[in-house]
């Protein structure tokens, strides 16, 4: 306590009056208002972030789903599935193969009149009689095509055609083509020959003649006789032709 008229001590704080206390009480909440506003703003931002997070998750899930369904490693929309690429490649390969076959061409069958019932019955008697007539060779060749061995008949026919030539340059050219088409191991139409016959052909090719492929022709003829001919006689091609001609004969 100090007496009246004594000055206040330097360390003493003046007591607040009623009006000053009210002013102080009004200023304190005012000082806290910005902090409360910041807390509210931060809470709003957190709530906003929380609301945005579920929306982002489906988008990410959707992206992952699209990637799991994709068959390729490309994420772009223009290449959504590698199956399309594989399918396009297969179709292109099929078109290219078809084009190559058409370009190469398949030799036409021999021109011949329709076989008679007697001829078709004679084919069953021996392989020689089947091979004597163009109609018989055509029917047999059609069967060989179903067994993917048509090259045997084509080779035999090419050898027969070579035997009819007399011009040396033509003989050499045809012999070269026969070798490339049916003897070369690089040819898709290579016929099955043993090593002995191949050695004979290689020697004969030094000076080609009409008889360059005689041994090979005989071997292929024997192969067709023993292997393909019995199956041809039991095939639908032969039986249908025989039945058709028999029905026409009965109707006539």
In degrees, to the nearest 5, what angle opens at C-alpha 111 toward C-alphas 110 and 114?
Answer: 115
Residue 102 C-alpha from the chain's centroid = 20
Q: How many other β-carbons are positioned within 10 Å of the β-carbon of residue 64?
A: 10
Provide the token pair at 114: 């329709």
Percentage of the chain lying above the pLDDT 90 cut: 53
What is the DSSP secondary structure assignment for residue 168, as one 8-state letter? H
Q: Give the integer Cα–Cα distance in Å for 110 and 112.
A: 6
Per-residue confidence band for 49, with pLDDT thresholds at 50, 70 and 90:
low
Instruction: Please tell me the predicted confidence (pLDDT) of residue 15.
Output: 46
Provide the token pair at 220: 């292929």
Instruction: Please tell me the predicted confidence (pLDDT) of residue 44.
Output: 57
Look at 247 and 65; give whichever has higher pLDDT: 247
pLDDT in tens, 225-242: 999 999 999 999 999 999
Sign of CA dihedral 129, 135, 136, 137: positive
The whole-chain average pLDDT of the chain stands at 75
The arithmetic mean of pLDDT across residues 99-110, rounded, is 47
Q: Give the integer Cα–Cα distance in Å for 202 and 228.
A: 27
Q: Are 239 and 117 in contact (CB under 8 A)?
A: no
Instruction: Please tell me the predicted confidence (pLDDT) of residue 46.
Output: 61
Burial grade of 43 (CB within 10 A; 0-12, 13-18, 19 or more): exposed
Stretch among 4-13, 209-218, 229-238 having the lowest mean pLDDT: 4-13
What is the DSSP secondary structure assignment for residue 26, as one 8-state letter? H
Q: Give the integer Cα–Cα distance in Å for 216 and 203.
A: 13
pLDDT in tens, 148-183: 999 999 999 999 999 999 999 999 999 999 999 999
pLDDT at 121 > cutoff 80? yes
Q: Is the pTM of this model over 0.75?
A: no
What 3-state class would DSSP assign to 142?
helix
Look at 82 and 183; give whichever has higher pLDDT: 183
Helices (H), 105-235: 117-123, 127-132, 134-146, 150-163, 168-178, 195-204, 214-223, 229-233
pLDDT at 68 > cutoff 70? no
């Amino acid at each position: 306590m100090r007496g009246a008229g004594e000055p206040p001590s330097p360390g003493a704080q003046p007591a607040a009056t009623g009006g000053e206390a009210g002013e102080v009480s009004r200023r304190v909440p005012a000082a806290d208002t910005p902090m409360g506003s910041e807390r509210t703003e931060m809470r709003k931002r957190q709530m906003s972030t929380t609301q945005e997070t579920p929306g982002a998750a489906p988008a990410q899930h959707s992206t992952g789903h699209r990637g799991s369904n994709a068959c390729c490693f490309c994420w772009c929309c223009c290449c959504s599935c590698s199956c399309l690429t594989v399918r396009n490649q297969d179709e292109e390969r099929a078109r290219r193969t078809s084009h190559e076959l058409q370009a190469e061409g398949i030799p036409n069958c021999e021109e011949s009149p329709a076989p008679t019932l007697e001829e078709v019955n004679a084919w069953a008697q021996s392989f020689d009689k089947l091979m004597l007539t163009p109609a018989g060779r055509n029917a047999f060749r059609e069967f060989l095509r179903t067994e993917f061995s048509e090259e045997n008949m084509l080779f035999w026919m090419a050898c027969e055609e070579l035997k009819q030539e007399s011009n040396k340059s033509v003989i050499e050219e045809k012999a070269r083509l026969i070798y490339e088409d049916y003897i070369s191991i690089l040819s898709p139409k290579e016929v099955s020959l043993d090593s002995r016959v191949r050695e004979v052909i290689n020697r004969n090719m030094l000076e080609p003649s009409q008889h360059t492929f005689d041994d090979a022709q005989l071997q292929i003829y024997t192969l067709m006789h023993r292997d393909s001919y019995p199956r041809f006689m039991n095939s639908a091609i032969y039986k249908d032709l025989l039945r058709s001609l028999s029905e026409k004969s009965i109707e006539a």
